[in-house]
Amino acid sequence: MSQNILLTKKDKQAIGEIHLTGSKSECNRALVIEALSGARVRVENISDAADTVTLQKVLGITLQTVGYESQPITHHVEHKVVNIGPAGTAMRFLTAYYTLQDEEVVLTGSERMKQRPIGILVDALRTLGAEISYEENDGYPPIRIKGNIQQSTDKISIKGNISSQYITALLLIAPKLPMGLEVHIEGDLTSRPYVEMTLGMLEQAGIKHEWNGNVISIPNQEFKETVLPVEPDWSAASYWYSIAALADKADLFLHGLTPYSLQGDSVITEIMANFGITSQFRDGGVHLVKEQKPIVRKQFDLKKCPDLAQTIVVVCAALGHEASFTGLETLKIKETDRIAALQNELAKMGVKLIEENETYTLDCSGKFIPERMFIHTYDDHRMAMAFAPLALIIPELEIEDAPVVEKSYPAFWTDLEKIGFEVKDI
């Protein structure tokens, strides 16, 4: 596939069946748990998302390549360099993981990864006794990690309104810390479902915890022999809900999804009910049907599911629904500044996303439907997939850097073709 594609849809119907890849969020946690358990835990239904492939290769015993272009792990006399490319989850999880290993590692990534903060996690690990230093700029990768942490305390405090991946990274290594770990969360916890997912998966692997108020405690303990099955990805499912919402007629079946999920993004079923999409769980999956109904809900708090933000904002903009959004604080430190990216691209159809005191409101008064629209993706998989459903209302939609979706959903464009989208290389 070339870098750019032209996306078109001759009709406004979305009918078909889709098999989604395994959840990237679940799989990345499960792979670290497997590695920490000494293979007592085994992972099933491993995602083919590029981030997960990268992490699996880094953690693998026999594999000696990492990154999106099979960059070698370079061995030096005193340390090795691990380049994880743009894989943000891998950067956070491996920062904590390598403090327990009997080796010295320089952990680095893409140019954008070098702009994404890691200081809060590094400070927490240093408090515990880890030896970590910065190779270039303080607070940012690349970082040098000397393993065999000499734990000096079992208590750390960390802000709750930062990336939940920092907290998850600490919780994942907690059972292997000699003194265990007590995490004190300061203020409101952003993306709480992701922390609950981490604790739920640890529990499946035999790890006990206590969560009282703002304190999560995990003592030193052993993993049990078990299998961690990875669910299909609800984040990937969200784009099909978006397609259903913008279609005149929708009848979609997503295999393998259940109403009882560890993934916080499963809340998309409730959110999209506001747009007339019913979710019927039967026959081993979820059936999406579009019903015509007025959209009443005007406010969406996305603090617990920030990865759904682009999808929901774009749907509202496309429908001319002037909603307000909160809980988007972490979007500026993702693969790109997702707030700025949304503002730039929505402006191409006359829609403004206005920020005021951490509340974001859509102004659709100048909305128009162009004959052709070009979407910059900003090296962000979710920008590509959140805007792709606009092909249902815009005759020609050109999307930059189409392969960027490989980060979480490699089959996305192929799956769109299954339900009648035309995907042409440019």
Q: What is the pLDDT of residue 2?
A: 53
CATH topology of domain 24-229: UDP-n-acetylglucosamine1-carboxyvinyl-transferase; Chain (3.65.10)
**Length of the chain, in residues:** 426
Strand segments (E) across 74-168: 74-75, 80-83, 104-108, 131-134, 143-146, 155-159
Distances in whole angstroms, Cα of residue 137 to Cα of each of 98, 144, 405? 20, 12, 29
CATH 3.65.10.10 is right for the domain spanning 5-21+231-425: yes
So what's the pLDDT on residue 68?
Answer: 34
Q: Who contacts 100 (Cβ-Cβ below 8 Å, separation ≥6)?
A: 36, 147, 148, 149, 173, 176, 177
User: Along the 426 residues of the chain, how does pLDDT read in single tens digits?
Assistant: 459 999 999 999 999 999 998 999 999 999 999 999 998 999 998 999 999 999 999 998 333 333 333 333 333 335 689 999 999 999 999 999 999 999 999 999 999 899 999 999 999 999 999 999 999 999 999 999 999 999 999 999 999 888 889 999 999 999 999 999 999 999 988 889 999 999 999 999 999 999 999 999 999 999 999 999 999 999 999 999 999 999 999 999 999 999 989 898 999 999 999 999 999 999 999 999 999 889 999 999 998 898 999 999 999 999 999 999 998 887 887 778 999 999 999 999 999 999 999 999 999 999 999 999 999 999 999 999 999 999 999 999 999 999 999 999 999 999 999 999 999 999
Is 102 noted as a catalytic residue in this protein?
no
Domains of the chain, by residue range, sit at: 5-21+231-425, 24-229
Grouping H, G, I as helix, E, B as strand and the rest as coil, residue 352 is: strand
Structural tokens at position 348: 């191409």
- Prediction pTM value: 0.82
pLDDT for residue 333: 74
Six token digits for residue 110: 């893409």
Nearest CA-CA partner of 403 in 17, 42, 86, 9: 86
* pLDDT at residue 78, as a whole number: 57
On the question of a common fold for 5-21+231-425 and 24-229, the answer reads yes
Q: Looking at 51, 307, 380, 415, which residue is catalytic? A: 307
